[in-house]
Amino acid sequence: MKFANREIEIRKMTVSDSANVAKLDRVCFTTPWSEESFEYEAHLNPLAYYLVAEAEDGSIVGYMGIWHILDEGHITNVAVHPDFRDRGLGSKLISEIIACSDVVGMKRYTLEVRVSNEAALHTYRKFGFSEAGLRTNYYEDDGEDAIIMWKE
């Protein structure tokens, strides 16, 4: 597939992607995960499944993670490099991970999202997520609330 006139491959994240995924996380989030956290997710966490979006030059321009808990999928992170936003890459990651997780028996999905993140809220609603609650002072960096969303 092409995004921003570049070929992008969506594939399963490996341990060797951890440094590049952590680098992208630092670009996208004010409280990024460490490289070690991504190594753990890719190699040791039996509940975790992550996809990366890799550009033809080998750079990671997007990623998404989900934890499989019983018949639920808890979406942990969705990140797209700013240069690749507003082109459908986040939506492609979401649709790919839901397709993969449906195969292993996930029937419901949940996530938390900043109340101020209108772009993410719009995307999640497009996939059938709806607001189910609020986690006050959820984000450590600024105390912003998170909206809890579910997709049945």
What are 104-128's pLDDT values in tens digits? 889 999 999 999 999 999 999 999 9
How many CB atoms neighbour CB 84 within 10 A? 18
Under a CB-based contact definition with an 8 Å cutoff, are residues 47 and 82 in contact?
Answer: no
Give the per-residue pLDDT at 7: 86
Give the per-residue pLDDT at 101: 86
Under a CB-based contact definition with an 8 Å cutoff, are residues 77 and 66 in contact?
Answer: no
What are φ and ψ of residue 46, in 5° steps? -70, -15
Q: Which domains does the chain have, with CATH numbers?
A: 2-106 (3.40.630.30), 111-152 (no CATH)
In the annotation, is 35 catalytic?
no
* Catalytic position from the list 35, 96, 112, 144: 112
Give the per-residue pLDDT at 1: 55
Give the per-residue pLDDT at 46: 96
Give the per-residue pLDDT at 9: 94
* Catalytic position from the list 49, 63, 109, 124: 124
Q: Is the pTM of this model over 0.75?
A: yes
Which residues of the chain are modeled with pLDDT < 50? none
In the annotation, is 112 catalytic?
yes
